[in-house]
């Protein structure tokens, strides 16, 4: 059973899935292995993750490994209806429609959990919150799950600290083969890609303000600089701020950056990063985009309260006209712009993130009695994925001689 927009859209969804598949060789190798080993035979896997082509391919890999898969999105604007339609042809149960309102979005998550999953994938923590709340009864068979992103990890850490985490979770985000590549290069490239194709405006020469110099912010700032933007970074962490200074960027508080910027990109995972007093000082025509997980970084209510008019100027661009005539442009409704107004990360990057997911889900399937806590991805799994990726890229590296290993105390 599935809830999708329309199966008539499936053709382009299949094209998208087939395209990314041919650039995800590590996940393809794991798929071949899973076809033989069937690690998920008899198991139900529920997935709440941005429902686009790379994720759809991951769902088919899990299916090939014997799982019964129940897939939903983790943000109503990142769901691609054609991909959702195509995924049903693989025998995956899909519950997701692009642009669903909050109530429908939660109903879709609940539908996916209604299978009483053995294993789950979460992206941002919406599944885990439901499983601790009104969907608690649906988690009765759950061996554990994997969390994909920084914001979800924050929510899990908070639960763990409060002694309130009732499930086993694996922290995919903090594995090196995830955040070093996905958060940095993936978000860096795809955020700019989405902004450029949505606005059709130039990057070179713009003053771009990047809020947050974590893994995502670093990637975004570096790509902006590479394309000729003048980059200003805002931070709350002195170490990260210092790193941004040494990387050659101007660091300012948002209050000072607000009147200077032409383009603002938030990537903090925090709320109210850009609010009323900042909007009041901004230049006419500024672009406001968010790449953090939730649409809380740019305060849309403040924009609405200040504006005399708001209208769609182009798909995924809403213009807010201020009383003095300035227009501030919010992209993708303040939701993560690279997925809500773009195609998300490049396939080659998600190859590593989803190889980690696949390997950790396999580990959960084999290891049913783990504690209710947040586990790290084992270092060996990180190294295995990196080794596979290098091999697929045709890159060789050196190995320690026995004498070197002894010198470095490596076993």
Q: Which is nearer to ligand NAD, 64 or 232 (CB)?
A: 232
Tell me which of 5, 132, 207, 240 binds ligand NAD, using CB under 6 A. 240
Contact string 187-226 vs ligand NAD (x = CB under 6 A):
x-----------------------xxxxxxx---------
Q: Which of 63, 179, 206, 223 binds ligand NAD (CB under 6 A)?
A: 179
Considering the rule CB under 6 A, would residue 252 count as an interface residue with ligand NAD? no
Q: How far apart are CA 291 and CA 311, in angstroms?
A: 22
Q: Which is nearer to ligand NAD, 166 or 237 (CB)?
A: 237
Residue 249 three-state SS: coil
118-139 b/e (C-beta count within 10 Å ≥ 16 → b): bbbbbbbbbbbbbbbeebeebb
Residue 255 lies near ligand NAD (rule: CB under 6 A): no
186 vs 215: CA distance, rounded Å:
10
From the list 183, 299, 353, 381, which residue makes contact with ligand NAD (rule: CB under 6 A)?
183
Closest approach of ligand NAD to the CB of residue 354, in Å? 13
Number of helices (H) and strands (E), helices first, in the chain?
A: 18, 15
Q: On the CB side of 392, how many CA atoms lie within 13 Å of its CA?
A: 19
- Across-strand partners of 70? 46, 93
Considering the rule CB under 6 A, would residue 269 count as an interface residue with ligand NAD? yes
- Residue with the two structure tokens 């712009």: 337
Q: Does 150 sit near ligand NAD (CB under 6 A)?
A: yes
Tell me the three state secondary structure of residue 335.
Answer: coil
The nearer residue to ligand NAD, 39 or 292, going by C-beta atoms, is 292
Q: Which of 139, 261, 292, 346 binds ligand NAD (CB under 6 A)?
A: 292
CA 213 to chain centre: 17
Closest approach, Cβ 358 to ligand NAD, in A, equals: 18
- Segment near ligand NAD (CB under 6 A), from 2-10, 109-117, 195-203, 334-342? 334-342
Give the binding range for ligand NAD (CB under 6 A) out of 38-46, 202-210, 285-293, 302-310.
285-293
Tell me how many residues contact ligand NAD (CB under 6 A): 29
Of 149, 205, 191, nearest in space to 290 by CA? 191
Strands (E) located in 212-366: 230-234, 250-251, 263-266, 287-290, 307-314, 317-322, 327-331
**Of the residues 336, 341, 355, 385, which one makes contact with ligand NAD according to CB under 6 A:** 336
Please select the residue that binds ligand NAD; options are 293, 335, 359, 389, rule is CB under 6 A: 293
Instruction: Give whichever of 272 and 406 is closer to ligand NAD, judged by the CB atom.
Output: 272
Please name the residues in contact with 163: beta carbons below 8 A apart, sequence gap of 6 or more: none
Residue with smaller CB distance to ligand NAD, 31 or 52 = 52
Residue 127 binds ligand NAD, judged by CB under 6 A: no
- Which is closer to ligand NAD, CB of 39 or CB of 217? 217
State the Cα angle at 386 between 385 and 389, rounded to 5°: 85
Question: Could you say which of 55, 151, 316, 353 contacts ligand NAD (CB under 6 A)?
Answer: 151
Residue nearest to ligand NAD (CB): 214
- Give me the sheet containing 287-290, strands edge to edge: 250-251, 230-234, 207-211, 263-266, 287-290, 327-331, 317-322, 307-314
Angle subtended at Cα 62 by Cα 56 and Cα 295, rounded to the nearest 5 degrees: 45
- 291 part of the interface to ligand NAD, by CB under 6 A: yes
Helix (H, G, I), strand (E, B) or coil at 355: helix
Least gap, CB of 262 to ligand NAD (angstroms): 19
Min CB(299)–ligand NAD separation in Å: 12
The 10 Å Cβ neighbour count of residue 202 is: 12
Nearer to ligand NAD, 198 or 234 (CB): 234
Neighbours of 147 (CB within 10 A): 26
Task: Tell me how far, at minimum, the Cβ of 213 lies from ligand NAD, in Å.
Answer: 5
Q: Which helix (H) or strand (E) holds 148?
A: none
The verdict on 267 binding ligand NAD (CB under 6 A) reads yes
Residues 381-410 that bind ligand NAD (CB under 6 A): none
The binding site for ligand NAD (CB under 6 A) comprises: 149-151, 179, 183, 187, 211-217, 234-237, 240, 267-270, 273, 291-293, 336, 338-339
């Amino acid at each position: 059973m599935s809830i999708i927009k329309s199966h008539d859209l499936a053709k382009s969804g299949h094209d998208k899935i087939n395209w990314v598949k041919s650039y995800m060789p590590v996940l393809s190798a794991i798929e071949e292995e899973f076809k033989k080993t069937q690690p998920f035979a008899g198991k139900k896997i529920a997935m709440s993750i941005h429902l686009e082509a790379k994720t759809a391919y991951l769902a088919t890999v899990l299916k090939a490994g014997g799982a019964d898969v129940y897939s939903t999105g983790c943000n109503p604007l990142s769901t691609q209806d054609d991909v959702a339609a195509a995924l049903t042809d693989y025998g995956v149960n899909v519950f997701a429609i692009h642009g669903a309102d909050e109530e429908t979005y939660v109903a879709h998550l609940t539908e996916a959990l209604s299978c009483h999953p053995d294993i789950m994938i979460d992206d941002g923590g919406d599944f885990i919150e439901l499983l601790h709340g009104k969907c608690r009864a649906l988690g009765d068979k759950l061996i554990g799950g994997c969390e994909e992103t920084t914001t979800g990890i924050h929510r899990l850490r908070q639960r763990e600290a409060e002694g309130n985490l009732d499930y086993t979770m694996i922290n995919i985000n903090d594995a090196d083969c995830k955040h070093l590549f996905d958060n940095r290069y993936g978000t860096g490239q795809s955020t700019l890609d989405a902004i450029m194709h949505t606005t059709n405006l130039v990057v070179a020469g713009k003053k771009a303000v990047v809020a947050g110099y974590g893994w995502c912010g670093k990637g975004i700032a570096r790509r902006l600089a590479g394309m000729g933007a003048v980059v200003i970074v805002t931070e709350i962490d002195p170490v990260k701020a210092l790193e941004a200074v040494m990387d050659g960027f101007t660091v300012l508080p948002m209050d000072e950056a607000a009147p200077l910027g032409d383009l603002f990109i938030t990537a903090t995972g925090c709320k109210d990063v850009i609010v009323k007093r900042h909007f009041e000082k901004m230049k006419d025509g500024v672009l406001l985009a968010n790449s953090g997980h939730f649409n809380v970084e740019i305060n849309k209510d403040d924009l609405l309260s200040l504006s005399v008019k708001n209208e769609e100027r182009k798909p995924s661009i809403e213009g807010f006209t201020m009383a003095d005539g300035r227009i501030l442009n919010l992209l993708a409704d303040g939701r993560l712009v690279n997925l809500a107004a773009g195609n998300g990360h490049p396939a080659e990057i998600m190859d590593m993130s989803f190889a980690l997911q696949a390997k950790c889900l396999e580990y959960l399937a084999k290891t049913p009695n783990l504690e209710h806590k947040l586990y790290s991805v084992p270092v060996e799994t990180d190294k295995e994925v990196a080794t596979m990726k290098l091999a697929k890229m045709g890159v060789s590296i050196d190995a320690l001689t026995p004498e070197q290993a002894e010198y470095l105390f490596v076993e």
